[in-house]
């Protein structure tokens, strides 16, 4: 093979093998980095452009950090290789995001949300929800 062909083959393999990589951060570091953190359930998801960007709308049920409205939305990519998060309608999640662009990825942190602390340690995906509850104890008045 010529050098040009080998370079093209290498580039093709490199791009097709790309996957999401994040730096390892603890739940407390992810919480500290986020400007807004809330829990809610997915109302709808929609493709917003040809670059596979997804807008997900949540009904907010608990706010842990920052200010939220009754409904919030975030943007992510559909492609898991780009660290996108696939949200399912009617499921509950903990969302960590910034206040302006509202972009999320698996690198910014997320968790499944359970409105009551039963087996939370067993059910937590990333440990974010138990860490949040250390700082804000469960209280039915929060619901």
- pLDDT tens for residues 55-105? 999 999 999 999 999 999 999 987 666 788 989 999 999 999 998 999 999
Cα dihedral 91→97→101→107 (10° resolution)? -90
3-class state of residue 134 by DSSP = helix
Q: pTM of the entire structure? A: 0.76
Residues 81 and 121: their CA atoms lie apart, in Å, by 28
């Amino acid at each position: 093979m010529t050098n040009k062909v080998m370079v093209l083959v290498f580039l093709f393999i490199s791009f097709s093998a790309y996957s999401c990589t994040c730096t390892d951060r603890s739940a407390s570091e992810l919480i500290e980095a986020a400007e807004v953190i809330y829990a809610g359930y997915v109302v709808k998801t929609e493709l917003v452009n040809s670059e596979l960007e997804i807008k997900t709308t949540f009904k907010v049920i608990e706010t842990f950090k920052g200010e939220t409205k009754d409904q919030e939305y975030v943007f992510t990519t559909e492609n898991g290789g780009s660290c996108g998060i696939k949200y399912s309608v009617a499921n509950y999640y903990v969302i960590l995001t910034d206040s302006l662009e509202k972009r999320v990825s698996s690198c910014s942190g997320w968790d499944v949300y359970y409105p009551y602390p039963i087996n939370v340690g067993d059910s937590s995906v990333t440990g974010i929800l138990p860490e949040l509850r250390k700082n804000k104890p469960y209280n039915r008045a929060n619901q």
